[in-house]
Amino acid sequence: MTAVLESPPVSGAPVDRRVVRRRLGPGRRVPFAIVTGPLVLVALWCVGSATGLLDPRTLSEPWTVVATAGELVADGRLQENLVVSATRAAVGLGLGVAIGLLLAIVSGLSRPGEYLIDGPVQIKRSIPNLALIPLLILWLGIGEEMKIITIALGVVVPIYIHTHNGLRGIDSRYAELAETTGLGRGEFVRSVVLPGALPGFLLGMRFAVTSALLALVVVEQVNSTSGIGYMITLASSYGQTDVIIVGLVVYAVLGLVADGAVRFTERRALAWRRTLES
């Protein structure tokens, strides 16, 4: 259908006579409208709780959850457990990143390294990380070592895979340049290899952060005596859905903050790139 708008020219106003077709695409974006969905969900939750459609034993009322969060913060339990969980995740992540990076560089820059390292890492990759927990408990017990090693093992693989991939994707002409400018191996790694592999490493980092949080959730439910996961497990046995919800929100916030931090680093560290992103 073609609609022709014919308005008589008003004296003074410029003439605007145009043909407008019906729009088939999704149309223009409305700022902040993306939060509509979550808000609708929270509203449904409020309505359900207020009308008694939602049993508090299934899901606590939103205002109870907020009050519980306030209490948990007031008596310091939430902060205490958060510090324990965040420390676990950070130590495991740091250890995994260091090992993954080292393996990727050795395997990426030397053939013997590749023949020794690449195979075992690929085999490790095909074993779901959490399936190793029973073995790790036997070896390391149920203490912090087991928890941190489990998190680290989940981090090593994505860091290795993406850094190795980024490193091998570096243009070989840059290696030629390094040779003609007389760079040593150390200088070559610093000036060419590491910056060239950085985009891959940072992508691996985003996967690693998710992987670390996933492992954190699981290990904290194995005979823990502290941490957000312990708080949730304890609440589960007492039927405190409000505490569970608070714990889940904390996990979500941890995940969002970690991912945001990596993305921020990406934007800052990769300012030299000219891509579709920038």
User: At a CB cut-off of 8 Å and minimum separation 6, what does 161 contact?
Assistant: 121, 125, 204
CA–CA gap between residue 59 and residue 197 (Å, rounded)? 47
Which 164-193 positions form the footprint of another protein (CB under 8 A)?
Answer: 173-174, 176-183, 187, 191-192
The nearest distance, CB 263 to another protein, in angstroms, is: 18
The nearest distance, CB 271 to another protein, in angstroms, is: 7
Length of the chain: 278
Nearer to another protein, 59 or 175 (CB): 175
- With CB under 8 A as the contact rule, the residue among 48, 113, 195, 255 that binds another protein is 195
Percent composition of the chain: helix, strand, coil (DSSP 3-state, to 5): 75, 0, 25
Identify any residues that bridge with 3 across adjacent strands, giving them in sequence order: 20
Told to check if 12 binds another protein by CB under 8 A, we report: no
Yes or no: say if 153 and 125 are a contact pair by the CB < 8 Å rule.
no
- DSSP structural state of residue 3: E
Q: Angle CA(234)–CA(235)–CA(240) in degrees, nearest 5?
A: 165
Nearer to another protein, 55 or 179 (CB): 179
Which one of the spans 18-26, 153-161, 195-203, 255-263 is the region binding another protein (CB under 8 A)? 195-203
Binding track over 243-272 against another protein, x by CB under 8 A:
----------------------------xx
The nearest distance, CB 171 to another protein, in angstroms, is: 9
- 148-170 as b/e, with b when 16 or more CB fall inside 10 Å? bbbbbbbbbbbbbbbbbbbbbeb
Nearer to another protein, 192 or 213 (CB): 192
The nearest distance, CB 188 to another protein, in angstroms, is: 9
What SS3 state is found at 26? coil
Nearer to another protein, 263 or 273 (CB): 273
Nearer to another protein, 71 or 176 (CB): 176
Yes or no: say if 85 and 75 are a contact pair by the CB < 8 Å rule.
no
The nearest distance, CB 133 to another protein, in angstroms, is: 40
Nearer to another protein, 31 or 182 (CB): 182
Told to check if 196 binds another protein by CB under 8 A, we report: yes
Binding track over 198-227 against another protein, x by CB under 8 A:
x-----------------------------
Yes or no: say if 198 and 153 are a contact pair by the CB < 8 Å rule.
no
HSE at residue 50, side-chain half, CA atoms within 13 A, is 7
How many positions of this chain bind another protein (CB under 8 A)? Answer: 20
Yes or no: say if 228 and 85 are a contact pair by the CB < 8 Å rule.
yes
Yes or no: say if 57 and 241 are a contact pair by the CB < 8 Å rule.
yes
Please give the single-letter amino acid code of residue 260: G
The nearest distance, CB 196 to another protein, in angstroms, is: 7
Q: What tokens were used for 261?
A: 């931090």
Which 115-174 positions form the footprint of another protein (CB under 8 A)?
Answer: 173-174
Binding residues for another protein, per CB under 8 A?
A: 173-174, 176-183, 187, 191-192, 195-196, 198, 271-274
